Amino acid sequence: MSGSETAIRRATCQCGQVEFEASGDPIIGAICHCSSCQKAGKLFEDMADGLDVLEGDGGTDFALYRKDRVRCARGADLLREHRLTASSPTRRVLATCCNAPMFLEFKNGHWLSVYRRRFRPQDRPPVEMRVMTADRRAGVEFSDGLPSYARHSGLFMWRLLSAWAMMGFRSPRIDYVQGGTDVQGRR
């Protein structure tokens, strides 16, 4: 194993009561501009003591990790899931102690999209691309040279598929999140 495969990055909520450990490098670092991430980000920011979720350009910054490389080290009893609709296949998990978004999970997915802001600045994995930019806010232009894709790029999908193959095409269950709340009901 290389040094980066055994490195542990810690992701914590704002107040420090919830902590995750992510081992190794992420599958990919991406900023998502899809309408769902923008909507959820705005809802989270509007919560009591809400934290900044969206970047200045409206994107949500994630580090995607294999599920088998992320564990909740403490505070699992403070985690709650939030969905934009009752039937949404995507759940976003927040630490209720300080309303800090921790990760996003797709139903039956093999990865977790950890909010990069949960890592200490010096430990944040690099951002490699923007995705779903077809949904970006009107008037937003990118000039920083970061690769930007209207949907998901081939590289993005290849990395997800490769990670899944390395996991033996398994999709571990995340069963430590204790409850659910529809985000729409929390407005």
pLDDT (tens place) for every residue of the chain, 187 residues total: 344 446 899 999 999 999 999 999 999 999 999 999 999 999 999 987 888 999 999 999 999 999 999 999 999 999 999 999 888 999 999 999 999 999 999 999 999 999 999 999 999 999 999 999 999 999 999 999 999 999 999 999 999 999 999 999 999 999 888 766 655 544 4
Question: From CA 149, how far away is CA 154, in angstroms rounded?
Answer: 10
Cβ burial of 11 (10 Å; 0-12, 13-18, 19+) is buried
How many whole angstroms separate alpha carbon 60 and alpha carbon 57?
A: 9
Distance CA(1)–CA(173), nearest Å, equals: 26
What is the DSSP code (8-state) at residue 46?
T
Q: Is the pTM of this model over 0.85?
A: yes
Q: Return the residue matching tokens 């909507």.
A: 39
Q: Tell me the CB-side half-sphere exposure of residue 102, using CA atoms within 13 A.
A: 33
Residue 9 tokens, joined: 């990055």
Q: How many C-beta atoms surround the C-beta of residue 183 within 10 A?
A: 20
